[in-house]
Amino acid sequence: MPNDAFGHSQPTSRTCAPEADVATRGFATRAIRTGQDPCSATGSTVVPVFQTATFTQDAVGVTKGFDYSRSGNPTRQALERQLADLEGARFASAFGSGMAAVNGACSILSAGDHIVATKDVYGGTYRLFSDVFPRYGISTTYVDMCDVEATRAALRSTTKLLWIETPTNPLLRIIDIAAISALKRPGLAVAVDNTFATPYWQRPLELGADIVMHSTTKYLGGHSDVVGGIVITDDPSLHAQIAFHQNAVGAVPGPWDAYLTLRGAKTLALRMREHEKNAAAVARFLDARDDVAEVFYPGLPSHPHHDLAKRQMRGFGGVVSFRPRGGAERALEIARSTQIFNLATSLGGVESLICSPTAMTHGSVPAARKAELGITPDLLRLSVGIEDEADIVGDLARALDASLAVARILALA
């Protein structure tokens, strides 16, 4: 067996190049088949959970492809192959959380390097870039990446990474991946957080990006029962750096977490179609109500980036944000009143969730910055699940109507 960059022996199948005879298989087929051949030892149709820390060697340095589960585990390898293929790439490195994956994607950087990032990145990414990386000599400039020229103007000689999040969280702005990728020069990489869109709706590598990152906790796992992350690339040099970091730092998922994510991703195509159908119904319902001030969903023709979303994405996803009329108090009353929508952080599971981004997902972002970005206390974000459409819309209707009644009572008091 060949040795990897860490000196550990690894099977040649660690890379994820599809076989020639399956290169034209469809998305759902690859989600179910790639990296998931029947177990050669037992014939098990499902990839086994290799719940082991270490692997017995035939002789000193002679392995069957694995020696220690931090460096490689067959269940994790199957997940990495599956998800790399879905993004149209050969290489993937799985991590123990989405934020570990963000950090892993940025492991290509060194002290003195500079990041240009989407101004309204996820709160955890903002905290990492603004509060942690400066301690290691890595700086970040936040810019409106919807403005390509503003992004170009933010570049420095030390800029080594362009960090895109699209659709953005929670206002669902759309960034032109191809246009930003066209700003690349030697030594400058483009990374895309593709968590909201998933590879079913959007494939950044095909648009010129170098690295794709996901919080697999969300749609890829899909069932709100496992935390994880993945970094995917088709560049062998970038993969070698990221995989070295993965092993050196050790923030890897255990085999059970890898198995749950692998299992969840098998149904990604089915789930994403249902998420989008329900989200579109929710967006239309909210957009038609006079007591809703704004609706943010790229599938609505009124969305400012609707045409770009149609060009760049195959679908619009399952997240909808909105501002009800009546301010923060009414928004909080709505969040408290839903029954189908659980009041919870996170997104992408089969169950519908509602949250207040300013206090929950973006709590680590300074108040002044949140106000500047439009992440205000009257904003609500919905992760629309795959329950029956009528139940989802009905739940929101009841919560909106009840909150109006409460507001009228308070006005009379």
Active site residues: 70, 122, 193, 218
Q: Which tokens sit at 341? A: 């929508």
Q: How far is CA 343 from CA 94, 102, 167, 282, 382, in A?
A: 29, 26, 22, 17, 10
By the 8 A CB rule, do 389 and 277 touch?
A: yes
By the 8 A CB rule, do 406 and 380 touch?
A: no
Q: How far is CA 371 from CA 71, 171, 185, 188, 378, in A?
A: 43, 13, 34, 31, 11
Sheet strands (E) in 274-325? 292-296, 319-324
Q: β-pairing, 353-355 with 380-383?
A: antiparallel
The strand order across the sheet containing 229-233 reads: 91-95, 229-233, 211-215, 189-193, 159-165, 114-118, 139-143
Cis peptide before 167 (omega within 30 of 0): yes
Phi, psi of 180 (to 5 degrees): -70, -40
How far from each other are the two terminal CA atoms of the chain, in whole angstroms?
77
Tell how far CA 320 is from the center of its chain.
16
Cis peptide before 38 (omega within 30 of 0): no
Question: CA gyration radius for the chain?
Answer: 22
Residue 68, amino acid: Y
By the 8 A CB rule, do 93 and 230 touch?
A: yes
Q: Which tokens sit at 161? A: 């990474």
Task: In whole angstroms, give the CA distance from residue 243 to residue 407.
Answer: 54
By the 8 A CB rule, do 184 and 208 touch?
A: yes
